[in-house]
């Protein structure tokens, strides 16, 4: 991994926060050097059975107690980081800057940004487009400012990397006024992950970051594919919301809009439809068993036909997008797999790429199933395209942007 050398700022500590609706995930880095000092998560915020866990200096720390809101969650985070026996730092004043994952920045944001009151207002302005994500993201920002005081804070947006999409890719075939007045368009998500792995792939190929054409596949419980041309995103499978595109763990992916009208006529209300499409569909809905590919592979191997069907549909949808993006891009250097399934699912990668040899895509099965090197090439000698497994590291990308913007005062160089 590329390192930023600057002795003037050795051992600067950067806190990275990812605040969900009922959770906080965090990592503490020493920069430059990319040293992961501590990481942990706080779950079930607002629940009487809240719990938290942390790993720091080889010491595990677990806490179970009621956590009323994100402010209380960050107070617990501070206690854990500074725990005398199992913590990572002596005092919060050791933290020099804080980076935040923010889901939606709309058309206004095309990169990571130092947080000020105007940016907070912008994040709030996009509450209606990301109602499950932007509100807790903003709560985390404000709670962190209160807890950490006057240190640089940086927002890294999931949508930012996809702001290079051309209009022909991001506009829906709806009346143009709906875009102009209501901001209905494709935004794309997982941008920090697609950006990170595309930059890593360029480094692995010995190319400049703006000198590669790639198809990047982020496959986890949420899934998306991006077409990267000359280092920039030009198309992506997720749309105005993270519901569009691939089949996912519990989300439908692409769906005939007429199904919505039909279900409305059958008595489904808006909240019921949202839950159906976001929480009860995808792999879980098809199989009736699980949203986890690992569980479904076991069931399929034991003869469960619906588990096998769910896996086939998942792979087929990814394969379709790869084919589409091969047509969109002016030549492709490689395909990248990342995310929990993309990194660890050897059988799923085989399902997705099966039968694509005529397009110059040919797996080496031994390399595909090897576990010795998490980051590796897995194509064989006949393959025209390179095929990569690159573990994503969104937290490091956020930490790097925060270090560059908040400490060095310059535009990020590694992952921008």
Q: What is the pLDDT of residues 162-181, one digit of tens each?
A: 999 999 999 999 999 999 99
Mean pLDDT of 47-59: 90
Q: Which residue has the tokens 């866990």?
A: 53
162 in a structural domain? no
Q: Could you give the CA distance from residue 357 to residue 349 in angstroms, rounded to a whole number? A: 14
d(CA 235, CA 228): 7
Do 220 and 365 lie in a common domain?
A: yes
Q: Provide the domain count of the chain.
A: 2
Q: What is the mean pLDDT of residues 111-127?
A: 95
CA pair distance 120, 11, nearest whole angstrom: 29
Output the domain CATH number for residue 238: 3.30.420.40
Tens of pLDDT, residues 55-85 = 998 899 999 999 998 889 999 999 999 999 9
Q: Do 141 and 231 belong to one domain?
A: no
What is the average pLDDT across 121-126?
A: 94
Pair (29, 87) in one structural domain: yes
Domain shared by 100 and 220, yes or no:
no
Whether 194 is covered by a domain: the verdict is no
Domain that holds residue 134: 7-157
**pLDDT bracket for residue 17 (50, 70, 90):** very high
Give the pLDDT of residue 9: 40
The catalytically annotated residue of 49, 150, 158, 295 is 158
The answer to whether residue 43 sits within a structural domain is yes
Across 180-203, average pLDDT: 97
216 CB neighbour count, 10 Å cutoff? 30
Pair 151, 212 in one domain: no
| DSSP code per residue over 105-151 | -GGG-SS-EE--HHHHHHHHHTTTTSTTTHHHHHHHHHHHHHHH-SS
Res 267: pLDDT: 98
Same domain, 136 and 222: no
Would residue 404 count as lying in a domain?
no
Q: State yes or no: pLDDT of 49 exceeds 90.
A: no
Q: Are residues 140 and 231 in the same domain?
A: no
pLDDT digits (tens, 9 = 90+) for 216-232: 999 999 999 999 999 99
As a whole number, mean pLDDT of residues 321-347 equals 97
Strand partners, 43: 51
Q: What is the pLDDT of residue 131?
A: 85
The verdict on 107 and 21 lying in the same domain is yes
> Which residues partner with 159 through β-bridges?
none
In the annotation, is 235 catalytic?
no
Q: How many angstroms separate the CA atoms of 194 and 224, rounded?
A: 9
**Predicted pLDDT of residue 159:** 96
Band the pLDDT of 8: cuts 50, 70, 90: very low
Cα–Cα dist 137/30, whole Å = 23
How high is the pLDDT of residue 3? 35
Please give the Cα distance from 49 to 30 (Å, whole number): 32
Q: pLDDT class for 365, splitting at 50, 70, 90?
A: very high
| Range in 89-103, 126-140, 163-177, 305-319 the model is least confident about | 126-140
Are residues 299 and 233 located together in one domain of the fold?
yes
Same domain assignment for residues 227 and 368: yes
Rounded distance between C-alpha atoms, residue 245 and residue 277, angstroms: 12
Q: What is the pLDDT of residue 142?
A: 93
Q: 398, 399, 413: which is closest to 160 by C-alpha?
A: 398
Residue 209 has pLDDT above 90, yes or no: yes
In degrees, to the nearest 5, what angle opens at C-alpha 103 toward C-alphas 247 and 313? 5
Please give the structure tokens belonging to residue 308: 């096998």
Contact between 17 and 24 under an 8 Å Cβ cutoff? The reply is: yes
Q: Tell me, yes or no, whether 142 lies in a domain.
A: yes
Q: Do 142 and 251 sit in the same domain of this protein?
A: no
Structure tokens at 354: 């099966």
| Residue 415 belongs to a domain | no
Look at residue 68 and tell me if it is in a domain.
yes
Query: Which residues on adjacent β-strands are paired with residue 102?
Result: 157
Question: What average pLDDT does the segment 150-168 reach?
Answer: 96
Domain-located, residue 221: yes
**Domain identity same for 349 and 222:** yes
Q: Which residues of 314-331 are buried (b: 16+ CB within 10 A; e: fewer)?
A: bbebbbebbeebbebbee
Contact status, residue 375 vs residue 200, Cβ threshold 8 Å: yes
């Amino acid at each position: 991994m590329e390192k930023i050398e600057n002795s003037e700022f050795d051992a600067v500590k950067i806190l990275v926060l990812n605040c969900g609706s009922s959770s906080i995930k965090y990592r503490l880095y020493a920069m430059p050097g990319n040293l992961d000092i501590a990481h942990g998560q706080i779950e079930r915020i607002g629940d009487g059975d809240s719990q938290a866990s942390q790993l720091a200096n080889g010491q595990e720390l677990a806490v179970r107690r009621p956590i009323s809101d994100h402010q209380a969650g960050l107070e617990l985070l501070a206690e854990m980081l500074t725990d005398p026996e199992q913590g990572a730092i002596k005092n919060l004043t050791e933290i020099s800057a804080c980076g935040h994952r923010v889901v939606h920045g709309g058309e206004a944001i095309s990169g990571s940004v130092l947080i000020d009151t105007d940016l907070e207002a912008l994040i709030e302005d996009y509450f209606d487009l990301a109602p499950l994500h932007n509100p807790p993201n903003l709560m985390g920002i404000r709670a962190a400012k209160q807890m950490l005081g006057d240190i640089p804070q940086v927002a890294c947006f999931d949508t930012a990397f996809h702001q290079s999409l051309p209009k022909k890719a991001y506009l829906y075939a709806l009346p143009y006024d709906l875009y102009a007045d209501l901001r209905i368009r494709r935004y794309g998500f997982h941008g920090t992950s697609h950006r990170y792995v595309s930059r890593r792939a360029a480094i692995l190929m010995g190319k400049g970051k703006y000198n590669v054409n790639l198809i990047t596949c982020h496959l986890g419980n949420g899934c998306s594919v991006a077409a990267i041309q000359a280092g920039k995103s030009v198309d992506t499978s997720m749309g105005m919301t993270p519901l569009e595109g691939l089949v996912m763990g519990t989300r439908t992916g692409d769906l005939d809009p007429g199904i919505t009208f039909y279900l409305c006529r059958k008595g489904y209300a808006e909240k019921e439809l949202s839950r159906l499409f976001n929480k009860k569909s995808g792999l879980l809905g098809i199989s009736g068993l699980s949203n986890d590919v690992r569980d479904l592979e076991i069931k399929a191997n034991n003869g469960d036909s619906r588990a096998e069907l769910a896996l086939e549909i998942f792979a087929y949808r990814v394969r379709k997008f790869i084919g589409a993006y091969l047509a969109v891009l002016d030549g492709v250097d490689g395909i990248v797999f990342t995310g929990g399934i993309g990194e660890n699912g050897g059988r799923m990668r085989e399902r997705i790429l099966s039968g694509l040899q005529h397009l110059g895509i040919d797996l080496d099965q031994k390399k595909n199933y090897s576990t010795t090197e998490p980051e590796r090439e897995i194509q064989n000698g006949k393959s025209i395209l390179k095929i990569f497994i690159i573990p994503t590291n969104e937290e490091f990308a956020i930490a790097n942007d925060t270090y560059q913007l908040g400490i060095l005062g310059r535009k990020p160089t590694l992952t921008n």
